[in-house]
Structure 1
Amino acid sequence: MADGSGERARSFGAAAGRYGDYRPSYPDALADALEELSGVALAGARVADVGAGTGIATGLLHARGARVVGVEPGAGMAAEFRRRHPHVPLVRGDGDRLPFASGALDLLAYAQSWHWTDPARSGPEALRVLRPGGALAVWSNDPDVDVGWIAGQEERIEERFGPGWYVNEHPRPQAGLEFTTRSLRWSRRVPVDVHLAKLATHSLFLIGRAGTDEFLDEERERLRELFPGGTVEEHYVVDLRVARAGRPERPRT
């Protein structure tokens, strides 16, 4: 995890409502790719969404028929999760100490949350709670910097606040976890103010870093000039990484 990650991780609680309102969901193709790469049919599968936040990914998994449980360490996010998904179970916990029995899950999911864990702990924990043949799925919704205006915005943020503002670390191979990767491009059209409200839910802006309010005001004027109709098309790349847990060896005859 990056330096200051504890402060950034804790920053989301006070903004849970805004996070749920403005953060994007995921394309329908994500669920299909999950099933293909994991070999797990979501309908009826025992799934945990770790670092569930307000339940954006949990809702997608639940809609596909998974018996999903949210896992969330933060009180503010957990309260917002329960408000938005009152019929989905939620437990308090984190990826370094999963509150599940060994071999209990078919699929373990981390949506935008793997980087808040210690991989030296969360990796072995994933292998512990997955059944043989189950799968760990880690994904993120990253801004598509191949799109010109998005690349320009990323450059302006880094010029003002330095690199590393967008906290996201992809999982690395470790014992028992070899990942297969799939990229899914998609977009959504939103008003300029909704885009900026989404930007303001990222931890850089939530921790009260000096100059962030001024930056958002400047960005509003810039985007209104660039998009006089008042609507932007946000482009994303879902980076999906799936590792299957080992299957038991067949007994020798």
Structure 2
Amino acid sequence: MTRAEDREEFRRARSFGAAADAYERGRPPYPPEAVAWLVPRDARTVVDVGAGTGKLTRALRAAGREVVAVEPSAGMREQFSRVLPDVRVVDGTGESIPLPDSSVDVLVCAQAWHWVNPELAVPEAARVLRPGGRLGLVWNFRDVSVPWVAELDRILRDCAAAPTRARQVEDVGAPFGPVERRDLRWSHPLSTGEIVDMVASRSYVITLEPAAREELMSRVRALLDAERPTEVPYVTECHRAVLGSP
């Protein structure tokens, strides 16, 4: 990756605070089956790295369980605290987690591991996890096997050069054991306005020049006016690995 590409990745990674409200309205939650697969029932302390507005965090809460959110964007932390005022949220990144050594049972990273530097984030995750702790990585992807969703993705690629950044799951490695994977298909009910918010909250849309952003959003609204969807189909891709597993 060139220096210019590095700068653009950094700009996109730090852009979400400017669209925190749209992110909260338009981004989907995570299915309960995904959380159950990623987080053992007996886990008592879970840290959500790159928590955003708490889309995954709210599904992680359970009786007797402490959840701590880590989020680098001040705008996202502000939105998070409005939605989840009883959950601790701290300033940090996957490479620098402000928690003590061996202090958590599970570390999860939703829709964010592709932003980290795995050479730093893997040992940092291992540092804060207790022996035998679990790392969970999860992404929601729109299901492009549905025709209107495929057309939406084509519009995004045409107008916004949607990034194809690797998810970096293969870079987890030691001291973690083998990475397991499970995919889940489901649909999230959304109004047309909420789908527009979902598009507007993408980093590569937030960072467009105003004229280009308006052109993209006009094409998205035209597609939605023609198709009138009431839900967005998703594939949730889950990965998990155990610290110190052979």
Q: TM-score, normalised by structure 2?
A: 0.89
Percent identity over the alignment is: 37
Q: Aligned partners of 1:188, 1:182: CA distance in 2, in Å? A: 19
Q: Do 1:195 and 1:232's aligned partners in 2 also have CA atoms closer than 8 Å?
A: no
1:65 is displaced (CA, Å) by 5.0
1:187 is displaced (CA, Å) by 0.3
Partner SS, residue 159 of structure 1? helix
After superposing the two structures, state which structure 1 stretch, 102-111 or 25-34, moved more.
25-34
Q: Is 1:202 the counterpart of 2:183 in the alignment? A: no
Q: Aligned partners of 1:18, 1:159: CA distance in 2, in Å? A: 22
1:27-66 aligned at under 5 Å gives the runs 27-35=31-39, 40-41=40-41, 45-63=44-62, 65-66=64-65
The change in CA–CA distance for 1:13 and 1:163 in structure 2 (over 3 A counts) is: closer
- Which amino acid letter does the alignment assign opposite residue 198 of structure 2? K
Partner SS, residue 211 of structure 1? helix
Residue of structure 1 equivalent to 2:125: 126
Cα deviation 1:30-66 (Å, max 9, x = unaligned): 222224xxxx225x51110011111111111014653
1:148 is displaced (CA, Å) by 1.6
Q: Is 1:17 the counterpart of 2:21 in the alignment? A: yes
- Which amino acid letter does the alignment assign opposite residue 215 of structure 1? L
- Which amino acid letter does the alignment assign opposite residue 232 of structure 1? T
Q: Which one has the largest radius of gyration?
A: 1
Q: CA RMSD in A?
A: 2.1
The change in CA–CA distance for 1:171 and 1:19 in structure 2 (over 3 A counts) is: same
Q: Aligned partners of 1:169, 1:120: CA distance in 2, in Å? A: 14
After superposing the two structures, state which structure 1 stretch, 192-201 or 217-226, moved more.
217-226
1:14 is displaced (CA, Å) by 1.9
Q: Aligned partners of 1:187, 1:108: CA distance in 2, in Å? A: 26
Q: TM-score, normalised by structure 1?
A: 0.87
The change in CA–CA distance for 1:242 and 1:13 in structure 2 (over 3 A counts) is: same
Cα deviation 1:141-184 (Å, max 9, x = unaligned): 111112121112212221333352x6562422422232100101
Partner SS, residue 61 of structure 2? helix
Q: Aligned partners of 2:245, 2:235: CA distance in 1, in Å? A: 31
1:122 is displaced (CA, Å) by 0.2
1:222 is displaced (CA, Å) by 2.3
1:102 is displaced (CA, Å) by 1.6
Residue of structure 1 equivalent to 2:189: 189
Q: Aligned partners of 2:111, 2:138: CA distance in 1, in Å? A: 6
Q: Aligned partners of 2:245, 2:182: CA distance in 1, in Å? A: 22
**Number of paired residues?**
239
Q: Do 1:112 and 1:168's aligned partners in 2 also have CA atoms closer than 8 Å?
A: no
Structure 2: 5+ residue stretches without partners = none
Residue of structure 2 equivalent to 1:224: 225
